[in-house]
A and B are shown apart, each in its own frame.
Chain A
C-alpha cells in the first residue's frame, strides 16, 4: 500500500516537472496558405513555403516566405524575409510577435512593405501568424513540411 502511494506521488511529481518545460523553438519548413487582403477581399497564395529559423538564444527568429504574390495580377513572385520576430515559449506553444520591422526582399531592406503588428504562434506542427505588409493585412496558416537540414 505504502509502495503504491509512493509510486503515485512520484508519477504526479514527474508530470508536474514535464508540463513546466517551455517549448524549444526549432528551425522548420512549413507549407500552407498565405492570405493577403487586397482591396478589401482575401487573396490566397496556396502551397507557399515558409522557413522559420530561431536565433541561437531562442529569443528571436527569422521568417522567410517564399514566392509570395501581394497582388493577384502581379507577374512575379518574391521571397520575403522578416527578421527580428520575438519569441516567447510556453509549455504548449511558441508565441511570435513583432511590432515593426523592415523585411528583406530583392537583395535588401524593403521598407515599402514594412511589417507591423505581427502576431502568431507555433503549436505542435502548425505555424500561424498574421501581420501587415505595408497596408496589406496578411496571414499564414501551415504545417511542418519537413525538418530543416542543419
Chain B
C-alpha cells in the first residue's frame, strides 16, 4: 500500500490522461465475458438504484437479490448470509465479498457502510471455479467509483428515527477517489434492565482509490477500505411459553472493530495476452462483549477479541484478443491468514450455582455432603492461534460457436489450517463437610489441531443466444465452503472438564459424567454443493427479465447447533446431506419516468440425511432459510424544468422459515414497505425516506442459550430525512 501510495503521490500532480483511464477499466468480476453473457443469474444494482433503495449496507440487499437473505441482528460482526438454502450464522459465509476485485477473507468485516459504490453485482449459484472458497452460494462484488468515472464531489447528510445520523461524501482528485461515511444511531431496542438502548451505533467507513494507466500497456490501481465501529447490539428478548419478552440483560453487550483491506491490482496488456494481478493485505481487530445468558441474572459472559492479518495474491492470464471465439483464463490464487482469538468465558455467581454446582450436587447424596465454589467469578480462558492457508490453480475456457457459448472450468483448491489452543479454567472449591478450607484448582487444556482438504471445483455451462434479446443458459458447477474449528464450544469443553476433574480430585465419580466434545471433535469439514441451473435472460429497451431454476445437492452441510442440556456453547456441525430446489425471477420495467422492479425467489431446502443421534431430520426444512424472498418496487419521476420529484415505494419480505431443525417454530412471510420521496435539483436533493413504514413486527433471529429461547425483533419503523449536495 505504501508503495502505491507514493507512486500515486508522484503521479497526482500530472494531468489525468483520460485515454489511459478509459483504456484500462478493471472490474470487480473475473469473468471473461460481460455480465449479459454470463451463464448464471446475476443481479446488478447501479449507483442510482442503490440510492433509491437506500442500499448502503449488505443486508439491504436482502430480497432485492432473489434468494438472498441477510437478516439484521446481533452486531456488525454477525453478517449471516443465506442464499438458496445455503448458509449458517457462524464461521465461513456462503457468499464471497469482493471489493474492487479483492476478496474479503473475514466475515466479521462484511458489514460496513458503503460510500462511493458504483455498482453492486451479485452472481448467484456456485462461483467456485473462478472465486474459490466460500463462493458456493454466490459472489457479491462491489465496484467503487473510479477516477475514470469522472469528477465527483458530493456530500450527503441524513437524520431521523432513533437519532440516526448519516453523513458522507465523495471527493475525486485527479487519479484519486476518496469517500467516507459516518453513521450514528441511539439504537432501537430498549434493554429494560439497564433502562437504555442496547444497540447504539457509531461507525466510520473510509475508502481511497487510486487508478492510473502508467503506459498504454500497464494499468495500476490501489483500493483501500477501512471501517471502524463502536456499537452495542444483541437485542435478544426471551421467549417463554409462546410469549416474547423485552430485552433485559445485565452485563455488557458491545462490539468494536477496526477493519482494513488494502488491495493493489495491475493489468498488463501484452500483445498476445493480458495479465491481471491483485494482491491484498487485510487486518482486523475487534472486541466483543456479550451477556451470554441474555438475562438479568449473573450467569455468564463472553468476551471475544480477535486480531487477524491476512494476505492474498492472485494472478490471471487471459487472451489479449477479447473478440476471439476462444477465451481461456488461467490463474493462481494463494492466501494466508493468521488469527489470534482470545475468547474468555466468565461464569458469574448465578452461573456457578446453576450450571456447575447444581449439576454436580444433584448427583451427590445430601447426607454425604455438597460442593461449594466460593468465587464470585469462574473464568475460562481460551486462547487460539489459527493459521489458514489456501492455494489454488484454476482455468476456465469460454468458447463461442455461432449462437452458442460453452464454458468449462476447473479449480484445484487446497486449504489447510492449524489451530493451537491454550485454555485454562481456574477456581476454588470446597467439599462440605470434609474439607476445612477452599482449595485452589485449575484445569489447563492445551494442544493443536490440523486439517487440510483438497477440492476439485468443476464448472460446465452452455449459453444460447436465441435472438437479440433472449438468452438461455444452463450451468452445472460445484462450490465449497471452507471447514474450520469450533472455538465457541471450548467453554463447554472446559466447563465439563473442570467439573469432572474436580470430582476426580475429590475422589468422587459420577455414574453419568458430563460429556462434551473434545478438541479432536471441534473440527468441521468443508461443505460442498453441486448446482444444476437453467435460466433465461430477456433484455429489451425498457424491459429486462431473468428467470432461473436450480437444484442444489449439498454434502456435509454446515449447521450451527446448540448442544443439548444446559450447555453454554454452540458449534458448527456437518449435517449429512440436504438439497434445495428453487426458482428465481427478476423483472425490471422502466418505461419513461416510471420504474418497476420485482425480485422473487422460492426455495425448498430440506435435509436429505441428517441424524444427530437423537433425531432423524430427513425431510425437514433446513432452518433459517426463507421459502420465499420478495422485493417489489415502483417509482415515478415528475419533471419540471431541470427539477424533479422522485417517488419510490417498495416492499420487502422473506419467509416463511423455521427456526429449528425440528420445524416446530415457524416465522411467517411478512412484507415490510419502504418509501422514498425526493425533491431533486441539479445541484442538490432533499428527501424523506422510511423503512418498515407500517412497523410490521417479526423476528430476525432465534437461538437457545442454557436451555432458554430468545428472539431478536426486526427493526421498527424508521423515518429519515436527508440532503445531498453536489459540489
Contact = CB atoms under 8 A, between A and B. Distances in A.
Interface of A: 66-67, 71, 74-80, 104-110, 112
Nearest to A69: B511
B163 interface: no
A112 B431 contact: no
Interface in B499-515: 503, 505-512
A105 B509 CA distance: 12
Contact of B506 (A71, A74, A106, A109): A106
Contacts of B503: 76
Given A106-B368, A108-B436, A112-B368, A76 B431 contact: no
Contact of B507 (A75, A106, A109): A106
Contact of A106 (B363, B434, B511): B434
A108 B435 contact: yes
Contact of B434 (A66, A74, A77, A107): A107
B508 A78 contact: yes
B712 to A, nearest CB: 39
A66 to B, nearest CB: 8
A110 B433 CA distance: 8
Contacts of A104: 434
B539 interface: no
A76 B364 contact: yes
Contact of B509 (A78, A107, A112): A78
Contact of A108 (B364, B431, B512): B431
A106 B363 CA distance: 14
B509 A110 contact: no
Bin the interface of chain B by size.
20 to 34
A78 B431 CA distance: 13
A106 B504 CA distance: 9
Contacts of A74: 365
B434 A75 contact: no
A109 B365 CA distance: 17
Contacts, number: 55
B439 interface: yes
B367 interface: yes
Contacts of B431: 106-108
Given A106-B434, A109-B434, A67 B509 contact: yes
A107 B363 contact: no
Given A105-B434, A107-B431, A107-B434, A112 B367 contact: yes
14 contacts: A75-B511, A76-B363, A76-B365, A77-B508, A77-B509, A78-B368, A80-B507, A106-B369, A106-B435, A106-B506, A107-B430, A107-B434, A107-B507, A109-B434
Contacts of B505: 107
A107 B506 contact: yes
Given A75-B363, A76-B363, A108 B434 contact: yes
A71 to B, nearest CB: 8
A75 B363 CA distance: 6
A75 B362 CA distance: 9
A67 B506 CA distance: 11
A104 B436 CA distance: 13
Given A75-B363, A75-B510, A76-B363, A107 B439 contact: yes
Contacts of B512: 75
Contacts of B368: 78, 106, 112
A66 B508 CA distance: 9
Interface in B320-369: 363-365, 367-369
Interface string B357-388: 00000011101110000000000000000000
Nearest to B363: A75
A102 to B, nearest CB: 10
A105 B507 contact: yes
